[in-house]
Chains A and B, each alone.
Chain A
Amino acid sequence: MNNQLGLGVFAAELHERLLWFTRLRWWAIVGLLAGAWLGPLIGFPPEWSRLAAVAAFSLAANLYFRSSLARRGDQPRAFGALQRSALLQMCTDLAALLVAVHITGGLESPLTVFFVFHMAIGTIMIAAELMYLIALGTSWCILCLLIMEAKGLVAHHAIDPGGSMSGRVSGLSMLALTAALFGTVYLTDSVARRFRRRTVQLHERTIELDQKKAALEDACDTMKRLEERKSKFMLLSAHQLRSPLGTVRTSLDVLAEGYVDPGSERGRRLIEGSVERVDGLLAIVNDLLELAKLREGAKRAPWAPRVNVAQLVVDVTDALTTVAEARGITLEANADPVAVLEWGIPPDLVFAIENLIQNAIKYSRSGGRVSVDLTVSDGVARLAVADQGIGIPADFVSTLFTEFARAQNARRHTAEGTGLGLAIVQEVVAAHHGAVSVVSHENVGSTFTVTLPLARRESPVTTV
């Protein structure tokens, strides 16, 4: 913890205590004045009127203390200055008390109890080492006073020279003792209360910090995982590009260096194959861009109100019917016309629907059937694309939606496919607060299901 800040807290507290100490001193002055005035009236020695001088001294001192504390109020961090002020107040008080005790009977004085009270106050405000010295000094001063009184160097003002005042002396002693008792309890209580409060605060703060620490560690872990995923993805992307590039480069080398005649059958195959690889590379790059745009969020096709998913499904299905027929596959679509999204990004939805149906066609065998069903229930549009194709190996389903994931049987079935389509579908669906899932059996077929809530909870402008 910052030391300066810590001292600031202590200084503010000490400042407050010193103010309280000066307020308390008004009562001591009132008491001294009362003693000076009432003491001789009710039969105590006439020297008691000298207490008024002690009161005047204390009054002047207290006025000075108050004004200096008011100045310090602007700079509560001046801890050293406040400690010096506390020490000065303590010494002034003890000197005044010593004189008052001398006036009111020396060791017999009922005021001696206030020495104890001052030690308690002092220990709260002043460094303990100093307080031991002050306690020692105070006892020495009292001892000196006693010796000087005994030797007759100073006058001993007996509290009850006539011996007729024992009742009043006891009463006065009781009064002083009671005041000191309550003062001490009040003082100790206020300190203890503050400690207890601080302990509770500290405990709460510790719990709070622990929670924050855990949250930060979580966030850090997530970042680390994302970072790892990102670099893994980049490596994977680079490699996905390098393999076909290697083929193209090698084909060109072979043709350029005369290993193969470009006009020959083999040369023609190499050129056509290279063109295919370049097209594949372009498709990968396009899909990577698509994915990057989706992950970046926003700044792409705008959100549109009232998006008719049924119409999109019908449009996509119509467009793909010829593709399916060319492969001897029957494509059927049933779309509930109520499937209208409050907000959606039509081009993205088209991409996702197209991708799922294209996959279904791609991984079907000739003579197979692909069915597309769009239904609405409980405010959710449910698009199911089912095929009777090669299916997905059970151990592959979990990684299906990650980038460049292509199952062994899928690679064997067809060379085309960037391995990015389903990752894009997932991003699109997630942006629409939906979910995508798959049920598949190898050699039986797969059914991809996309659910899209019709109503959006937030404005599409603020959340993408």
Chain B
Amino acid sequence: MAARNVLLVDDDPIFREAVTAVLETRYRVRTASNGAEALAAVAQELPDIVILDVMMDHLSEGFDVARELRTGDATRGVRIVMLTGVDQVYNMRMEIEESWVPYDRYLEKPVAPAKLLATIDELLA
């Protein structure tokens, strides 16, 4: 079976570099630094899973991408992991996150590499 295809979306290049190093041990990794790049990468090749930061150029960019993926016919099946420094309670309170939650897992930064890998494996199993 070909290596699973993971798309990592985060605006911090060092974070992308570090997480890429972890993900590369098991998957094929592509990266994007904002929502537009992420959607372009998805259009180019459908990933199995997308790891999304929330706050990038604007507050809810990660959620916007997640919604976009969930509403597209081709992209509906893509697994989505939110990986962000912003906690969920705060998102709800600031009304950044809507009640309709389009992601599969929500992880808060920092996440231990082993846990990140376990989460992805579980979703792709």
Contact = CB atoms under 8 A, between A and B. Distances in A.
Interface of A: 232, 235, 239, 242-247, 249-251, 253-254, 257, 259-260, 266, 269-270, 273-274, 276-277, 408, 411-412
B17 A259 contact: no
B86 interface: yes
B18 A408 contact: no
B57 A253 contact: no
B83 to A, nearest CB: 9
A250 B17 CA distance: 10
Contacts of B12: 243-244, 247
Contacts of A239: 55, 85-86, 90
B21 A254 contact: yes
Nearest to A232: B94
B67 to A, nearest CB: 19
A260 B21 contact: yes
- Residue from A246, A249, A260, A266 having most chain B Cβ neighbours under 10 A: A246
A408 B22 contact: no
B14 interface: yes
A87 B57 CA distance: 87
B13 interface: yes
Contacts of A273: 13-14, 17
A251 to B, nearest CB: 4
A112 to B, nearest CB: 84
B19 interface: yes
Contacts of A242: 85-86, 109
Given A239-B86, A243-B85, A259-B21, A251 B14 contact: yes
A427 B114 CA distance: 46
Given A239-B86, A259-B21, A273-B13, A254 B57 contact: no
B57 A266 contact: no
B31 to A, nearest CB: 13
B99 interface: no
B44 interface: no
Interface residues on B, range: 20 to 34
Contacts of B13: 273
B105 to A, nearest CB: 16
Interface in B1-42: 11-15, 17-19, 21-22, 25
5 contacts: A235-B90, A243-B55, A253-B112, A254-B21, A259-B22
A416 to B, nearest CB: 13
A232 B72 CA distance: 35
B110 A245 contact: yes
Interface of B: 11-15, 17-19, 21-22, 25, 55, 57-58, 85-86, 90, 93-94, 109-114
A269 B14 contact: yes
Contact of B22 (A235, A254, A274, A277): A254
B109 A250 contact: yes
Nearest to A261: B21
Contacts of B14: 247, 251, 269-270, 273-274, 276-277
Contacts of B11: 411
Contact of A269 (B17, B22, B90, B114): B17
A227 to B, nearest CB: 14
Nearest to B16: A247
B113 A246 contact: no
Contacts of B114: 257
B113 A270 contact: no
A243 B109 contact: yes
A254 B85 CA distance: 18
Q: Which of B11, B14, B93: most chain A Cβ within 10 A? A: B14
Given A239-B90, A242-B109, A259-B113, A251 B18 contact: yes
B86 A270 contact: no
Contact of A246 (B17, B93, B94, B110): B110
Nearest to A264: B21
Given A259-B22, A269-B14, A273-B17, A250 B57 contact: no
A94 to B, nearest CB: 77
A91 B57 CA distance: 92
A276 B14 CA distance: 10
The 5 A-B pairs of least Cβ separation, nearest first, read A246-B109, A273-B14, A249-B110, A243-B85, A242-B85
Contacts of A277: 14
Nearest to B23: A259
Nearest to B15: A247
Contacts of A269: 14, 17
B113 A253 contact: yes
Contacts of A247: 12, 14-15, 18, 109-110
B61 to A, nearest CB: 10
Contacts of B113: 250, 253-254, 257, 259
Select the residue from A250, A251, A408 with max chain B CB neighbours within 10 A.
A250
Contacts of A253: 18, 110, 112-113
Given A239-B86, A239-B90, A243-B85, A250 B55 contact: no
B18 A270 contact: yes
B111 A250 contact: yes
Contacts of A266: 17, 21
Given A239-B90, A244-B12, A273-B17, 5 more contacts: A239-B86, A245-B85, A251-B17, A259-B25, A259-B113
